[in-house]
Amino acid sequence: MKFYVRAVVLLSVLIEVQVGATSCLCPRPWVPFRDYCYRFEVKKATFKNAEKLCQSYSGEIVDSHLVSIHDSEEGTFLTMTATDIFDTSDVWIGLNDMHEEGNYTWTDGSAYEYRHFADGEPNAAITDEDCIYVYLVVGTWNDSTCNDLNPFVCKRPQWQWANNCFVD
């Protein structure tokens, strides 16, 4: 009987540590996914102001930027989570071609290898459609003018933010 009691206590401690560790690696209101934390901002901003706000969440050790998406699983996580949070269909991500038309880069400097544009996009239908948003209805990407006002998602690596990581 003592063995079972000890096993239950140990399991409870391990669950507490794991839950606490996750909240420490991605403190509220950040949401964990894989090795990153995501912050879903409902306030609307231009692309540049959204990136500035994301950068303001940077610390001494990790940087924060508009979200970069590197595979379909991350894209699905972003779309599904954002759909639950936002009451709009368009959400800024960190992809743009402001510096050179047709040469897309992520604001965090990561490699641009995964693409999920809607059919016929990006089309630069209007002059200066240099910034990319996710159309949440179907989860595909579209180009738009950077001065549009949209909610946005920030991303940063997970990090142990406090010495006492198991207390919220």
Q: Which residues of 12-47 are buried (b: 16+ CB within 10 A; e: fewer)?
A: eeeeeeeeeeebbbbeeebbeeeebbbbbbeebbbb
Residue 2 domain-assigned?
no
Domain ranges, residue 84: 33-157
Give how far Cα 22 sits from Cα of 11, 17, 30, 40, Å. Answer: 17, 9, 10, 17
| Residue 138 resides in a domain | yes
Whether 168 and 162 have beta carbons less than 8 Å apart is answered as no
**Confidence label for 18 from pLDDT (cuts 50, 70 and 90):** very low
Q: How confident is the model at residue 27 (pLDDT cuts 50, 70, 90)?
A: confident
pTM for the full predicted model: 0.81
**Each residue of 143-160: pLDDT tens digit?**
999 999 999 999 999 987
Is residue 27 domain-resident? Answer: no
Q: Which residue has the higher pLDDT, 5 or 45?
A: 45
Q: Are 89 and 82 in contact (CB under 8 A)?
A: no
Question: Do residues 151 and 36 lie in contact, with contact meaning Cβ atoms separated by under 8 Å?
Answer: no
> What are the CA-CA distances from residue 113 to residues 36, 58, 110, 116, 121 (Å)?
18, 24, 9, 10, 16
pLDDT digits (tens, 9 = 90+) for 28-81: 899 999 999 999 999 999 999 999 999 999 887 789 999 999 999 999 999 999
110 in any annotated domain: yes
Confidence of residue 163 (pLDDT cuts 50, 70, 90): low
Q: By the 8 A CB rule, do 147 and 102 touch? A: no
Evaluate whether residue 48 is within a structural domain.
yes
Is 8 domain-assigned? Answer: no
Assess if residue 3 is contained within a domain.
Answer: no
Q: How many beta carbons lie within 10 A of that of residue 128, not counting itself?
A: 13
- Domain of residue 137, CATH code: 3.10.100.10
Domain count, the chain: 1
The verdict on residue 134 lying in a domain is yes
